[in-house]
Amino acid sequence: MNSEVTPEEEKVIADFYTEEEWNKVSEFEKADIYATLKRYLIFKDYKGVNIPPPDFMIKRKRLNNNSTSKQSPDKTEDVSLNDGKSTEEKSVQQYDYQNASSSKENDDHNQPQQKPQKKSNGKGEEHPEVPPKKYPKRSVPAKNYHEPEEPKDDRYVYCDNCEEDCVDYCKTCGKLSFLKDYPVRMNTADRARKTCPKGVLIVRPSNIHGLGVFALKWLPKGVQMGPYEGQAAKQESKSGYAWKLRDGKLIDAANERNSNYLRYVNCARNSDEQNLVAFQYDGKLFYRTCKNIGAGEELLVYYGHSFAKTLGIDPKRFYEPNTSKVKNYYPCKHCHIGLSTEQFKAAHQLRCKYNPNRMITFDVNKAVTCQYCCRCFEKVEDLEEHEKRCRYHRKKTAVHSCGEEMKQFRCSECPYVTKYAKDLKRHGITHSKEGRERFRCSQCTFTTYYKDSLIKHISRLHSSSSSKFCYEGCKRIFLSKNMLDSHILKMHPSLIGSVSSKIRACLECKYKTTHKANFTRHMLTHSKENAQYFQCSACQYKTYDKSLI
Ligand SMILES: C[S@@+](CC[C@H](N)C(=O)[O-])C[C@H]1O[C@@H](n2cnc3c(N)ncnc32)[C@H](O)[C@@H]1O
């Protein structure tokens, strides 16, 4: 594990843990911290997604910044482990589709909410395991005849890192992660599908129903998306694409020309597969990831009890654990992984990185070794099978296309084989790199162990015959003068005087280039009727470039 830790990750760890604290963290936890940190460092550069920092950053920051915090980090973790669902996500699932709002139970669910607590009480009767929704307590200082107004109920957002409701944004983490729609004009054909964020999500056929939305990349818990777009409607809709907001208004995404990709999100059949929650914010409906979502997974939200019923989903069993999944579960005795069969468990335990004896998977004294590559095997049959395919063996018996067996040059220190003596000599350097001097380029930072590589480098990039450096402020290096000239035309038009290659200028626009082929291609972009040709008076030659005539 440690071998994969990058200096950047080490630096972050050092920012959050003292050496003594870090030494106290178990190997298992360290692996988990590195895994989440690695994902965070990769994902934070994704276009359109702001990934929240891993738990330990938030919690440790909170520990350092606010030692009198009312809830200890351990406590927070316990809540998420035991419960698995945020308070908000349990109550927002009640935003039912309009077409299922006729029954008594649904009428209850569709009541506009004044206070979230009231709503969870109503739900508790039907599903006692769901805890009531918690909102931050108001800490309003007593003032004469004036009390600041409590924020409107739908200004609350839930922060998955802090596991707290916040007004508008999280005060610890700042703005919460948001995945923006791909911008497409309203009233465009197939607009809903086109708004799907490129490279992150995709709309494609689903095993559950029709089309669904799938992740193309790993998505962390807590990413918000939306708002759910569609037409505002006052009357009941039977389209199957309408959400009812708290004030009773409907937002109906039946029309693909003025809705967005969220209309394609299917309904989760149980809480295990649910990975999105719907929530209302500032009069609009949004979705938020309530779990980490792997690449290839379908995004699934719960439509609410009444609509789920119409799809054949039993709301009473929605939160029951999926027993079929855990029936044949064989836990590894070294780590948290569960395997589906005894055999898989045995095979995994041998290789498990937390198994202290994992390297000794067989009796080393009885091991047999491949004569070509030195790989060890427990059984002779396995060795024989391997030797037939060993790539170093294949190299040894290489035959030239003329039919003659080719001579092999073998390294005495490793299994390296080559057909050329000079390659073997060059390869020998790799075994004596330590203490060996590197050849350095005097004009740039390039270094190499091989003298010929340095000569090649200088002749390609720093040859004095023609200057291929751009001016000092830019410092770009080009392999040919023509490439440098093209670069100057495009990036530094003020230096056009220094361009020695022939410049081809378009008469219809400002386009200039030194490449003939590019110029011809460019001219095709102007419509043919308007394109101005120049014809040679002596022959059939035609050109767009007056200077060529
Ligand atoms: C918002 S749309 C979802 C996108 C839909 N799959 C499509 O291709 O347009 C809701 C409709 O999808 C279908 N649907 C969604 N989830 C379902 C589920 N779990 N089981 C059966 N049908 C479902 C229902 O017909 C529902 O009216």
Sign, CA dihedral 147-148-150-152, equals positive
Supply 277's token pair: 């929650």
Beta bridge partners of 83: none
User: Please, what's the largest Cα pairwise distance for the chain?
Assistant: 104
Are 28 and 335 contacting, i.e. CB atoms less than 8 angstroms apart?
Answer: yes
Beta-strand runs (E) in 78-155: none
Residue bearing tokens 């350097």: 429
Pocket probe mutation, ligand 1, options 311, 313, 314, max atoms within 8 Å of Cβ = 311
Residue 488 makes CB contacts below 8 A (sequence gap 6+) with 470, 495, 496, 498, 499
Position 394 scores a pLDDT of 62
DSSP state at residue 128: T
Residue 544 makes CB contacts below 8 A (sequence gap 6+) with 506, 507, 519, 520, 523, 531, 532, 533, 534
Are 288 and 225 contacting, i.e. CB atoms less than 8 angstroms apart?
Answer: yes
Ligand 1 proximity of 240 Cβ (cutoff 6 Å): yes
Position 228 scores a pLDDT of 92
Name the residue at shortest CA distance from atom 25 of ligand 1: 240
Position 312 scores a pLDDT of 83
* ipTM (interface predicted TM): 0.98
Cβ-based neighbour number of residue 494 at 10 Å: 7
Q: Closest Cα partner for 249 from 121, 98, 143?
A: 98
Alpha carbons 274 and 287: distance in angstroms, whole number: 12
Counted residue by residue, the chain has a size of 549
The two beta strands, 178-179 and 330-331, are unpaired
Ligand 1 proximity of 208 Cβ (cutoff 6 Å): yes
Position 88 scores a pLDDT of 37
Q: Where are the domains of the chain?
A: 364-393, 398-429
Ligand 1 proximity of 267 Cβ (cutoff 6 Å): yes
Ligand 1 proximity of 266 Cβ (cutoff 6 Å): yes
Beta bridge partners of 448: 439
Residue 382 makes CB contacts below 8 A (sequence gap 6+) with none
Are 49 and 43 contacting, i.e. CB atoms less than 8 angstroms apart?
Answer: yes
Alpha carbons 329 and 382: distance in angstroms, whole number: 31
* Alpha carbon of 183 to ligand 1 centroid (Å): 24
* Alpha carbon of 516 to ligand 1 centroid (Å): 55
Q: How far apart are the first and last CA of the chain?
A: 68
Report the chain (549 residues): mean pLDDT per 10 consecutive residues. 68 83 80 77 62 72 43 29 32 34 33 34 39 47 40 61 66 70 88 90 88 88 87 77 81 89 90 86 85 88 83 79 64 82 83 71 71 78 82 63 68 78 80 73 79 74 60 67 81 80 82 82 66 69 64
Ligand 1 proximity of 254 Cβ (cutoff 6 Å): no
Supply 460's token pair: 């390609």
Name the residue at shortest CA distance from atom 11 of ligand 1: 240
Position 433 scores a pLDDT of 64
CA distances from 7 to 12, 114, 215, 317, 415 (A): 9, 51, 30, 48, 32
Amino acid 323 reads T
Residue 113 makes CB contacts below 8 A (sequence gap 6+) with 119, 153, 246
Ligand 1 proximity of 193 Cβ (cutoff 6 Å): no
Beta bridge partners of 338: 331
**Cis peptide bond upstream of 321, omega within 30:** no
**Residue 325 backbone phi and psi in degrees, to 5:** -75, -35
- Tell me if residue 484 falls in helix, strand or coil: helix
Alpha carbons 401 and 395: distance in angstroms, whole number: 14
Atom of ligand 1 nearest to the CA of 206: 6
Alpha carbons 40 and 53: distance in angstroms, whole number: 6
Supply 426's token pair: 């060059």
238 alpha carbon, distance to own chain's centre: 36
CA distances from 201 to 188, 293, 327 (A): 20, 11, 32
* Alpha carbon of 263 to ligand 1 centroid (Å): 9
Alpha carbons 263 and 228: distance in angstroms, whole number: 7
Position 113 scores a pLDDT of 33
